[in-house]
Every structure is written in C-alpha cells, then in structure tokens.
C-alpha cells in the first residue's frame, strides 16, 4: 500500500460509479434438481435449498411429521441413503474465465459429489462450505452434478466402533450437524439429509476479494481507528486501486499486489463516530461500507458491508462475592435481557425472511436486548445476524456442541478447526456478536451428570483432555486469531450442584422444573448471570388444533402426547399448577392457566434477577421459540403466537421496572433503572380491594440513579386482607400490580367485561371495561393477528383500549377469558 487520498467531490464519486464492471460472475444452481432413494429407480423433482423430508412431503410420500403422531412414521427416512442430481450449463463467457469454482454452502452431511459421472469430493460437516475448481477437471457446456447423501448411521457406527471409549451422548457426537435433529426434550427426531444451503458457481479472471474484515483498533467519542484487513486473490504481481466508500466519504488506496492470496491492511479513521447501541439504550447505527477493486480501468470486484462501531467485552473480575459476569458496551455495563434461541424449524428451508423479520421484531417489541444462539442448533443465516445488527440485539453465540462429550481423534479435530474458522470469519463483522461460547452444558454434564461413573482414572483423564483440546485450545485460539470477540469456554461455568454457580460465571438454574423446586426458589438463589432457566406451558389453541387436526381442544390425544418430549412434562405442570392455581375443569381453561403458570414462574425469576443488579447482570430465559408445534418452554409458539410469558416478559424487561416482594408481613418496592440517566419522579402506591375501594395509599418523591436497582419503599400489611386486595404502584409511565396471595387463594369477583370493537386501518381497537378487578384478561379469536396487549389486569372502572393488528375484515368471534370467571377446583 502506498498513499491514501480522501476524495470528497461528487465528480469523483460519479467517475467511480461509471467505470466498466468485470466482477466475478455468480451462477446459482438451485433449479432443476431431482432426487431418489439410492435403492430406487424413479427420480422425482426436488427443491434446493431443502432436505429429503420436505421433498418427500411435497410428493406426498410421507405424512407431515408435525401433525398427529406422524413423527414416528417417518423415521425410516433417516435410515436410507439418498441421491440428488441436476444439470447445469456453462456459457462461452464462463468457460473462457481463468477461474471457475463450484461452491457448496451447506451439504447435510456425508455427501459424495460427482461431476459428469466422476467422483470429485466427499463432505463430512453440514456447517462447512466446500468448493471444487472446475478448471482442474473436464467440463462441458452441459454438465451433470450428482450428490449422494449416505445415512449418518454408517459413519456413526463405524466411529463408535473405533472409539476407545463409549462417550456420552450416543452416536450424534460423531457427526458435525445440528444436534437437535437427533431429538431433544422440546423437539422431534427428524435427522435430515440434503442440500440445505445454496450451490453456486463463481467465475473470474485475474482478481477478486476473498474476504474483508473491518477490524476496530481504537474507538473514542472523537475518533474511530479501523484497520480493514482485505484478502485479495491475484493471478500476478500488479498495482491496483481500492475505493472504499463509507456512507458518503470516499477513500482511494493504491495497493501493490503479490501473486496468490494475501492480506492487505488499510487504515481508516472516522471522526466523531456514531456508536452502535442495543435498541433499548440508543441507536443501533450502522455504517455502510462499499469496497471496489479497480484495475485496468475496470471494477474487478466489489463488496458491501454494514458495520456497527462499538466496543463489547465480557467482564469477569474477582470481587467480594466471587467473580463478576457482565457485558460492557461502549465502556458501560449493560444489563442483558432476553431468551435462548433455537432453530425456527426442524426443516431450515421452511424458515423464510418473513419469519426472521417477525421473530426478531417481536424480540425488540418485548424489550429484549440479547439472544443466546444455543449450541445444539445451527449457526444462523446471514439474514439473522444482519437483522440483529439493524435492530440492536446482542448475540451470545454458542459453537454447535451440546450436552455431550465429543471425540478427540485427529480427523475430528481438523474438522472442528475448519468449522470454527469458517464461522468466526463469517460472523466477525457483525456488531451484534457479543460472545463466542464453546458449548452448552458439556462440562456440567461431565462433572455432575454421572458421565464419569464406572470409568478408570486413565479413561476419565483422556476424555477430559480431548474436551480441553477443543474447548480450551482450538476454539478460543480461533476466536482470538480471527476476531475481536471474547470467548467463554462453556455454559454454565458451574452446574447447579456446585455452590459456586451463584457467585461466579453464568448459571443454568433448573432446580425449578427438573428438581421441582418452588418458584420462590428464584428469589432465594440469584446468580451473577442467568443464561438458562424456564418452565413449560401448552401452546396456543391454534397450535393444539393443528397438532390434533381437529377444531376442538383435547389434551388427552396420542397426538398431543407425542408433541410433549419431556418425560415428566405433563406431571410437572400439574404439580406446579396445584401449588399456585386452581385446577381448571376443562382442557381449554387448562391451556390458559398453564400459560399463566409459566409466565408467573419465569417473571418471578426475571424480577428477582433484576432486583439484584449489579450483582446479577443478565437474565436469559429458556426458550424464545419452537422448531415444531410443541408443548415446550417457549414463550412464542411454532406459529408465532405470543404466550402469556411473552406478554408479561415484555413488561418485566422494560428499562424501568417496578418490582415488589413480600417478606413475612413487609412489602418492599424496588425501582430498577437500566438507562444511563438518573430519573426523578413520584412513586405512588395504593392498595385497593377488587371493587376499587382504596384501603391505603402513599407517595414519595425519589431519584432513581442510572443503571441501578434499589428498594425505595417498604411497609407492613398485617391488617390487610391479602386474598382480596392488590398493590398498585406507579412511577413515571410505569405501573405494576402486586398480589399478596397466590392466584389460587385470591377471592376474585365474577363479573362481566364490557367490550366495544371498532375498525381501524391496521385492524381493530378493542375497548374493555369492568366494575371489578379482572385478573389476567385473555383475548383470543380464530382470526390471525396480534394483540398489542394480552393477559393483562384490568382495574375496576378502568377503560382499556387494545389494538388487534390483523388483515381480517371483521372480528365477530372475539372471546375473553379471565381468572375471575374460570371454572376450577382446588
């Protein structure tokens, strides 16, 4: 590189844009595919990207595994090998290029690739990209591409047979693909095969970009110093010009290239940079970078990158309690609020851009600022991370290892090294990536789940050594070498059987649910950062009807049972329901109360974590979404319907939270402030009965310090009728309802809710009013849409207006369910 010049004139910009382009050609090969079983003769049309299950579904060869108990009927699909083929044509323009490369973005998983009948390549990792140089093999104008996908069991059985030890958890550990496809306690066993990502050809002559990394060197309020590390592939030694456009500013850099593939560093300085923030704390501002490679008066290649400038680091420092665990964004501690994310469908080709947009918009609407991409799923699409950048959502990114001990042979380690390098380099320009984590619960499983039982000391040492090679050497070294992101070995740091889980690192607290501890346990045991905790519920009526393929709600069918993957799931929900609610006498009400139950438990956890700030600096519940219609821990079901948890978590994740607790006969009211500004205002408290009569009230002017949590008011309630009253607290624009008794003990009056419905441009406005306190008001309809509020408390004589966003022309079947009017028994 020689000199860097800043050209600010419009004429220069126009001149650059009018240069002739001779950029690499890209030809997609997603059309005209066919498939068949390796032991059958008839070829059938296939969809690419796709998988064998959806292709068989399209031809009605199998029944839909997402409905009834059809999952068990399609297991034979994974026990067969399959082949796909297509033909592709290369024009004279392409054939004359000096370089022609066939690229595979994702093959699931053990594939043999043939071109014109000749074997070219084997693949063994669904997460990796593969490429074949077509200049090194005989090709024609018209060519045949055939891919044979061998069943995973062949390789897994062989690997297990050759393994020195019997490793947990079964054979999936030997195959680098989405682990959840082997079945999980929320998902089906649907082990796919096929071309799950696109295939394309690149053709070029002398020059092209191989990769661009916008590396942040130093960022202050006045200046951002960047180093753009560009890998350029050149056929010869030559001088070229690089045009870099950042928003409207142009930088021209002269570069002396060497033959081959080399890295060139371009320093860039941005004055008064606009920083990227999470959506709840500021603007997730993105700079638009455009890179053009100029030679011989032509644009030889160009690349676009949207980049948010920010600093992000994980802070783990020894303190009086143990060791901190929090994220610091642009030099400020940020409280992480969100959930764990799993793949949105067992069949990834069914996830559209619309699905990504809706779900991540829901995340923002719900005041979440972080998602954890869980390690048993997939490294998500570019679209997913682009949207997280744009919407201001931080991503805790697991590597794809979960709940198992993995092999340590040389070939497996090489495979992992390649996978890690590809994924870290792919994602490193995303402002949303906050952390790379090695695995989900592998270390906890080894130390606390009995996996060491009946093993010799030598065996245990060797298995743990293999673990450390991957998670303490290969992965952290790869993250450090190719990115600026922090690395965390395993989640959680300690399992719940270790006393340190409360004082150090992140925690997965499953005493509630798996160990059947009461919800109050969340208030007693608060860790430094809660990265997993949760509770199950039934999904929406729509989803249950879909599972049963019946318009009535029936929870006792074999279909419903087959969509509950936790062996104690139904019983645990029943046990917790008895503790907290009256048991409904019909299935429709049971579904409703199951969602209230889930929301109650998880929100108790969220509020306990937030009250403990700054000791605790994050709460991510399990889980945000579903991969199929299921009874699960999700807050948003398979069809995108918000459960009660999502609505109540939205309120619990507000930047300013009012949270009260009852300790013996003393009520303490906290105000939590996640913003970076002090807030002054009046804290107003009143206790009313369920008919609206005021029993007690008080008022206090307070200043809530920035980024803080504090109890601002406390009082005794010895003489209050706890079963028939509620505490209503207001601060600024926030309001909370705190009940002194469990829902099953509340003496809620039965009274109707008056409703009025009016049509609007985007749906319907629904006005509600009642003469008594109505708890957990649930609105539902057969029409597809979204209520901006639901599962809400309606005060006596309060008028509440709710928007139902829908494309429906009419709303004639609006139903209302409340805890007041539900038929139930103790």
> Is residue 747's pLDDT more than 70?
yes
What is the band of 671 on the pLDDT scale with cuts at 50, 70, 90? very high
Which residue, among 376, 280, 394, 279, has the nearest Cα to 326 in the 3D structure? 394
Q: Report pLDDT for 825.
A: 61
Q: Report pLDDT for 341.
A: 98
Query: Scanning the structure block, which residue is given the tokens 């200046």?
Result: 223
Using CA atoms, how far apart are residues 534 and 621, in angstroms rounded to an integer? 6
| Cα atoms in the Cβ-side hemisphere of radius 13 Å centred on 622 | 18
Q: Report pLDDT for 17.
A: 62
> Is residue 1's pLDDT more than 70?
no
Tell me the pLDDT tens digit for each residue of 185-229.
999 999 999 999 999 999 999 999 999 999 999 999 899 999 999
Give the β-pairing of 815-817 and 792-794.
Answer: unpaired
pTM of the model: 0.96
What is the percentage of the chain residues whose pLDDT exceeds 70? 97
Region 149-166 average pLDDT: 96
What is the band of 824 on the pLDDT scale with cuts at 50, 70, 90? low
Residues in the chain, overall count: 826
What's CA 430's distance to the chain center, in Å?
15
Q: Supply 767's token pair.
A: 């006005």
Region 124-128 average pLDDT: 98
Q: What's the Cα-to-Cα distance from 76 to each of 190, 191, 287, rounded to whole Å?
A: 10, 10, 50
Using CA atoms, how far apart are residues 337 and 655, in angstroms rounded to an integer? 10
- Please, which residues have CB within 8 angstroms of residue 261's CB and are 6 or more apart in sequence? 210, 231, 232, 233, 234
Q: At 649, is the secondary structure helix, strand, or coil? A: helix
pLDDT: is 363 or 5 the higher one?
363
The DSSP annotation for 170-223 comes to -GGGGSBS-GGGB--SSS-B----EE-S-EEEEEESSEEEEEEEEEEEEE-SSE
Containing 250, the helix (H) or strand (E) segment is strand 249-257
H helices of 667-754, where? none
Q: Is the dihedral of CA 44, 50, 52, 56 positive or negative?
A: negative
Region 621-626 average pLDDT: 98
> Is residue 4's pLDDT more than 60?
no
Q: Report pLDDT for 822.
A: 84
Using CA atoms, how far apart are residues 60 and 42, in angstroms rounded to an integer? 15
Q: What's the Cα-to-Cα distance from 87 to each of 47, 147, 559, 560, rounded to whole Å?
A: 14, 12, 42, 44
Q: Report pLDDT for 718.
A: 87
Residue 36 contacts residue 83 (beta carbons within 8 Å): yes
Using CA atoms, how far apart are residues 54 and 33, in angstroms rounded to an integer? 14
Tell me the pLDDT tens digit for each residue of 686-733.
999 999 999 999 999 999 999 999 999 999 998 899 999 999 999 999
Q: Report pLDDT for 420.
A: 98
Q: Supply 502's token pair.
A: 């409360």
Using CA atoms, how far apart are residues 777 and 308, in angstroms rounded to an integer? 41
Q: Report pLDDT for 527.
A: 97
Which residue, among 403, 437, 618, 640, has the nearest Cα to 532 in the 3D structure? 618
Q: At 116, is the secondary structure helix, strand, or coil? A: coil
Region 267-281 average pLDDT: 97
What is the band of 3 on the pLDDT scale with cuts at 50, 70, 90? very low
Residue 488 contacts residue 314 (beta carbons within 8 Å): yes
Q: What rounded mean pLDDT belongs to the chain?
A: 96
Region 126-130 average pLDDT: 98
What is the percentage of the chain residues whose pLDDT exceeds 90? 96
Tell me the pLDDT tens digit for each residue of 224-253.
999 999 999 999 999 999 999 999 999 999
H helices of 470-568, where? 475-482, 521-524, 541-548, 558-562
Q: Report pLDDT for 18.
A: 76
Residue 94 contacts residue 201 (beta carbons within 8 Å): yes
Q: At 71, is the secondary structure helix, strand, or coil? A: helix
Q: Report pLDDT for 16.
A: 56
Residue 737 buriedness (CB in 10 A; 0-12 / 13-18 / 19+): middle
Using CA atoms, how far apart are residues 777 and 617, in angstroms rounded to an integer? 32
> Is residue 5's pLDDT more than 60?
no
> Is residue 823's pLDDT more than 80?
no
Region 802-811 average pLDDT: 97
Which residue, among 230, 261, 226, has the nearest Cα to 243 in the 3D structure? 230
Region 440-444 average pLDDT: 98
Tell me the pLDDT tens digit for each residue of 82-115.
999 999 999 999 999 999 999 999 999 999 999 9
């Amino acid at each position: 590189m020689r000199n860097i010049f800043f050209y600010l004139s419009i004429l220069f910009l126009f001149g650059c844009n009018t240069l002739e382009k001779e950029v690499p050609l890209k030809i997609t090969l997603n059309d005209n595919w066919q498939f068949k079983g390796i032991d059958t003769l008839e070829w059938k049309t296939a969809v690419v990207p796709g998988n064998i299950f959806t292709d068989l579904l399209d031809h009605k060869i199998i029944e839909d595994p997402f409905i009834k108990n059809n999952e068990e009927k399609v297991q034979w699909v994974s026990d067969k090998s399959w082949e796909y083929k297509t033909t592709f044509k290369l024009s004279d323009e392409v054939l004359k290029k000096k370089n022609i490369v066939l690229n595979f973005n994702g093959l699931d998983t053990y594939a043999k690739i043939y071109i014109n009948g000749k074997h070219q390549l084997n693949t063994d990792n669904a997460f990796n990209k593969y490429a074949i140089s077509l200049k090194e093999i005989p090709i024609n104008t018209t060519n045949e591409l055939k891919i044979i996908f061998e069943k995973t069991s062949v390789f897994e059985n062989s690997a297990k047979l050759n393994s020195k030890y019997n490793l947990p958890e079964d054979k999936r550990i030997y195959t680098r693909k989405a682990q959840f496809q082997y079945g999980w306690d929320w998902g089906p066993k649907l082990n796919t095969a096929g071309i799950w990502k696109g295939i394309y050809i690149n053709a070029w002559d002398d020059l092209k970009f191989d990769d661009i990394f916008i590396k942040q060197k130093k960022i202050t309020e006045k200046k951002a110093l960047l180093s753009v590390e560009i890998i350029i592939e050149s056929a010869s030694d030559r001088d070229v010009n690089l045009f870099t456009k950042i928003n409207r500013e142009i930088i021209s850099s002269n570069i002396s290239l060497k033959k081959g593939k080399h890295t060139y560093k371009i320093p860039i300085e941005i004055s008064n940079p606009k920083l990227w923030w999470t959506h709840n704390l500021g603007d997730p501002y993105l700079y638009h970078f455009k890179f053009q490679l100029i030679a011989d008066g032509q644009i030889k290649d160009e690349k676009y990158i949207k980049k948010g400038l920010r600093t992000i680091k994980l802070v783990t420092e020894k303190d009086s309690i143990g060791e901190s665990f929090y994220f610091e964004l642009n030099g400020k501690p940020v409280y992480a609020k969100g959930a764990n994310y799993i793949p949105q469908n067992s069949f990834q080709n069914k996830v559209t851009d619309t699905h990504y947009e809706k779900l991540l918009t829901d995340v923002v609407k719900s005041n979440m600022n972080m998602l954890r991409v869980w390690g048993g799923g997939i490294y998500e699409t570019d679209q997913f991370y682009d949207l997280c950048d744009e919407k201001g959502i931080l991503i805790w990114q697991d590597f794809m290892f979960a709940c198992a001990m993995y092999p340590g042979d040389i070939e497996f380690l090489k495979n992992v090294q390649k996978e890690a390098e590809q994924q870290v380099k792919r994602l490193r320009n995303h402002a949303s990536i906050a952390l790379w984590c090695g695995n989900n619960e592998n270390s906890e499983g080894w130390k606390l789940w009995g996996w060491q039982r009946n093993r010799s000391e030598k065996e245990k040492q060797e298995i743990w050594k293999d673990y450390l090679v991957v998670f303490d050497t290969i992965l952290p070294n790869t993250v450090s070498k190719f990115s600026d992101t922090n690395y965390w070995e395993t989640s959680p740091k300690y399992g719940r059987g270790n006393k340190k889980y409360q004082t150090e690192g992140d925690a997965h607290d499953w005493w509630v649910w798996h160990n059947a501890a009461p919800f109050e346990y969340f208030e007693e045991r608060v860790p430094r950062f809660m990265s997993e905790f949760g509770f199950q519920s039934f999904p929406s009526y729509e989803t249950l009807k879909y599972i049963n393929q019946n318009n009535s709600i029936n929870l006792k069918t074999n279909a419903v049972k087959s969509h509950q993957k936790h062996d104690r799931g139904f019983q645990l929900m029943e046990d917790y329901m008895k503790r907290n609610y009256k048991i409904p006498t019909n299935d429709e009400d049971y579904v409703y109360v199951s969602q209230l139950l889930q929301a109650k438990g998880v929100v108790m956890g969220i509020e306990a974590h937030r009250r403990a700030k700054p000791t605790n600096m994050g709460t991510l519940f399990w889980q945000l979404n579903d991969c199929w219609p299921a009874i699960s821990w999700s807050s948003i079901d398979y069809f995108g319907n918000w459960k009660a948890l999502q609505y109540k978590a939205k309120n619990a994740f507000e930047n300013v939270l009012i949270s009260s607790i009852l300790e013996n006969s003393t009520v303490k009211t906290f105000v939590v402030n996640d913003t970076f500004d002090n807030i002054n205002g009046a804290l107003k408290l009143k206790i009313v009965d369920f008919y609206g009569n005021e029993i007690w009230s008080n008022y206090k002017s307070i200043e809530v310090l920035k980024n803080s949590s504090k109890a601002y008011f406390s009082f005794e309630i010895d003489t209050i009728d706890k079963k028939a009253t509620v505490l209503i607290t207001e601060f600024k624009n926030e309001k909370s309802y705190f009940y002194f008794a469990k829902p099953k003990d509340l003496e809620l009056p039965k009274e109707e809710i008056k409703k009025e419905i009016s049509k609007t441009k985007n749906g319907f406005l629904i006005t509600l009013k009642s003469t008594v306190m109505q708890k957990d008001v649930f609105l539902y309809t057969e029409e597809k849409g979204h209520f901006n509020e639901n599962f809400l408390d309606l005060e006596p004589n309060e008028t509440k207006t709710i928007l139902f966003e829908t494309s429906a022309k009419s709303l004639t079947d609006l139903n209302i369910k409340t805890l007041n009017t539900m038929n139930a028994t103790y």
